[in-house]
């Protein structure tokens, strides 16, 4: 049995981390049976990062590596019809989403305007979480942001960066269907992992305001959400 290990759910999405939600959506879209375990302890994860996945005797970390493994091992046709150009564009989109992650994370853990709301939402949804553990996670994230660079910017500049990525993505998502046609691909799962964690996020960050102003982005997100939660 395939088992996905990822962070806890929040605001009605299966994982409040976009990379874990990306893998979750991919598994659902492909119709693969799996167990989903919510964890906070990363000590057993490859490179100490979530999400990770066990598939028989194989343990894989990194969301892109997980998707590649699943496609190969289980002969999944989800990306089989993509042209080389579409494959390249999918990679560029995923790399842009990797950059967007830092802005999303900053809005939750770093920005003093939104941190208390995020902390309280987590504790309401998961009352077994020790508040001290969240404070320790926040201190750890502060260090990550500093060394990555995003933590050295003022909030307005951080959100400008994230909205620039979202605007580009909004230009790419069609008004109907999915990224590359009538059927979803792994790129759609990746987009959902991020946009769902903004659109369904019940805290009004600048990122959420922008996504809400983009009908095609909201439609894409809600279409996949309905498909994987039915």
Write the burial class of residue 81 (CB in 10 Å: 0-12 exposed, 13-18 middle, 19+ buried): exposed
Query: Pick from 56, 61, 48: which is nearest to 73 by CA?
Result: 56
State yes or no: pLDDT of 93 exceeds 90: yes
CATH assignment at residue 138: 1.20.1050
**Which pLDDT belongs to residue 213?**
98
State yes or no: pLDDT of 220 exceeds 90: yes
State yes or no: pLDDT of 230 exceeds 90: no
State yes or no: pLDDT of 48 exceeds 90: no
Query: Mean pLDDT across the stretch 192-213?
Result: 98
Q: What share of the chain is helix, strand, coil (3-state, %, to 5)?
A: 60, 10, 30
Query: Mean pLDDT across the stretch 94-109?
Result: 98
Q: How far is CA 171 from CA 5, 90, 114, in A?
A: 33, 14, 28
Query: Mean pLDDT across the stretch 33-45?
Result: 90
CATH assignment at residue 12: 3.40.30.10
State yes or no: pLDDT of 195 exceeds 90: yes
**Which pLDDT belongs to residue 50?**
93
* Same-domain pairing of 69 and 98: no
**Which pLDDT belongs to residue 209?**
98
Query: Domain limits at 34?
Result: 2-73
**Which pLDDT belongs to residue 42?**
84
* Same-domain pairing of 68 and 102: no
State yes or no: pLDDT of 43 exceeds 90: no
Q: What are phi and psi of 2, to 5 degrees?
A: -70, 135
The β-bridge relationship of strands 34-38 and 2-6 is: parallel
* Same-domain pairing of 112 and 142: yes
pLDDT bracket for residue 155 (50, 70, 90) = very high
State yes or no: pLDDT of 71 exceeds 90: yes
pLDDT bracket for residue 111 (50, 70, 90) = very high
Question: What pTM, to 2 d.p., does this model score?
Answer: 0.96
**Which pLDDT belongs to residue 141?**
96
* Same-domain pairing of 124 and 67: no
* Same-domain pairing of 126 and 223: yes
205: left (phi over 0), alpha (psi -120 to 50) or beta: beta
- Say if 79 falls within a structural domain: no
Q: What is the pLDDT of residues 170-182, one digit of tens each?
A: 999 999 999 999 9
Q: What is the pLDDT of residues 123-151, one digit of tens each?
A: 999 999 999 999 999 999 999 999 999 99
State yes or no: pLDDT of 40 exceeds 90: no
The β-bridge relationship of strands 58-61 and 2-6 is: unpaired
pLDDT bracket for residue 41 (50, 70, 90) = confident
- Between CA 226 and CA 151 the distance in angstroms is 35
State yes or no: pLDDT of 34 exceeds 90: yes
- Say if 168 falls within a structural domain: yes
CB 129 within 8 A of CB 119: no
Collapsed DSSP state (helix, strand, coil) of residue 33? coil
* Same-domain pairing of 68 and 88: no
Q: Which range among 38-42, 49-53, 99-103, 185-189 shows the weakest confidence by mean pLDDT?
A: 38-42
């Amino acid at each position: 049995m395939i088992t996905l290990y990822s962070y806890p759910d929040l605001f009605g999405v299966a994982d409040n981390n976009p990379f874990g939600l990306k893998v979750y959506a991919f598994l659902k879209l492909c119709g693969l049976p799996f167990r989903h375990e919510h964890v906070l302890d990363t000590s057993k994860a490859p490179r100490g990062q979530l999400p990770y996945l066990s598939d028989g005797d194989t343990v894989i970390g990194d969301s892109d590596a997980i998707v590649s493994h699943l496609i190969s091992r289980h002969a999944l046709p989800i990306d089989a019809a993509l042209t080389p150009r579409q494959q390249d564009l999918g990679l560029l989109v995923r790399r842009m989403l990797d950059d967007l992650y830092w802005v999303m994370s900053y809005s939750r853990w770093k920005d003093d305007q939104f941190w208390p709301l995020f902390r309280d939402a987590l504790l309401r949804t998961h009352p077994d979480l020790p508040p001290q553990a969240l404070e320790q996670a926040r201190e750890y994230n502060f260090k990550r942001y500093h060394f990555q660079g995003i933590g050295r910017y003022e909030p307005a500049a951080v959100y400008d960066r994230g909205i620039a990525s979202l605007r580009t993505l909004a230009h790419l998502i069609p008004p109907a269907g999915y990224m590359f046609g009538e059927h979803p691909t792994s790129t759609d799962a990746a987009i959902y992992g991020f946009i769902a964690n903004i659109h369904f996020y019940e805290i009004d960050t600048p990122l959420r305001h922008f996504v809400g102003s983009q009908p095609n982005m909201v439609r894409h997100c809600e279409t996949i959400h309905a498909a994987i939660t039915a």
